[in-house]
C-alpha cells in the first residue's frame, strides 16, 4: 500500500498554478506595485535609518559637546523614531526619502504602542534585515506596519 501523505523528504508539491511568491512586493497586502503606497525597497529603508542616525548623532553631540555620546545617540534616535511615527507617521529620514510608516490592517494612524514596539525591535537591527515574501522586515510584520512610498 502506497503512502498518500508522502515523506518529509518529498517536500511540497509543485503546482504550476500556485505561486509561492508574489508578483511584486506588497501584493499580498493589497498595496500597489509602483507609486504612492507601494512598499519601499531595502536601500531606501537603510538610507532613511542612516539619516535618522546622523540627526540623532548631531543632537547628542550638541548636548554632550565632549566625550562619547553613544548611549545618548541611541536614546535620541529612539525618541525620534517613536515620536515621529506616532505623531506624523514618519521620521525625518523617512520624510527626506519620501517614505511613510502605515498600518496594513486599517487606514488609521500607527499609534504610540505600535510605534514603540516597532522602534524597540529596530534597536536590535537584525529584525529589519530579515524580510517576508512581501519585503517587510520582521519588525514591521510583528507590529502590523509597512514602510511605503509617500509620493
Question: Given this model, what pLDDT does residue 107 score?
Answer: 85
Nearest-angstrom CA–CA distance, 40 and 98: 10
Nearest-angstrom CA–CA distance, 36 and 58: 31
C-alpha cell at 72: 545618548
Which conformational region is residue 136 in: left (phi greater than 0), alpha (psi within -120 to 50 degrees), or beta? beta
C-alpha cell at 87: 505623531
Query: Mean pLDDT for the chain?
Result: 82
Nearest-angstrom CA–CA distance, 50 and 130: 18
* Cβ pair 147, 138 in contact under 8 A: no
pLDDT band with cut points at 50, 70 and 90 for residue 9: low
Question: Given this model, what pLDDT does residue 13 score?
Answer: 54
The answer on pLDDT for 111 being more than 70 is yes
Q: Are strands 145-149 and 99-103 parallel, antiparallel or unpaired?
A: antiparallel
End-to-end CA distance of the chain: 61
- Whole-prediction pTM value? 0.77
Amino acid at each position: 500500500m502506497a503512502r498518500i501523505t508522502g515523506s518529509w523528504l518529498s517536500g511540497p508539491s509543485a503546482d504550476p498554478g500556485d505561486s509561492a511568491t508574489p508578483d511584486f512586493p506588497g501584493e499580498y497586502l493589497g498595496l500597489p506595485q509602483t507609486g504612492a503606497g507601494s512598499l519601499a525597497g531595502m536601500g531606501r529603508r537603510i538610507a532613511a535609518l542612516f539619516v535618522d542616525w546622523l540627526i540623532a548623532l548631531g543632537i547628542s553631540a550638541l548636548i554632550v559637546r565632549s566625550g562619547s555620546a553613544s548611549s545618548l545617540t541611541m536614546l535620541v534616535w529612539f525618541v525620534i523614531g517613536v515620536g515621529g511615527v506616532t505623531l506624523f507617521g514618519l521620521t525625518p529620514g523617512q520624510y527626506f526619502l519620501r517614505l511613510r510608516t502605515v498600518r496594513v490592517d486599517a487606514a488609521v494612524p500607527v499609534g504610540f504602542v505600535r510605534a514603540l514596539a516597532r522602534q524597540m525591535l529596530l534597536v536590535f537591527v537584525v529584525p529589519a534585515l530579515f524580510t517576508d515574501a512581501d519585503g517587510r522586515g520582521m519588525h514591521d510584520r510583528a507590529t502590523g506596519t509597512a514602510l511605503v512610498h509617500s509620493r
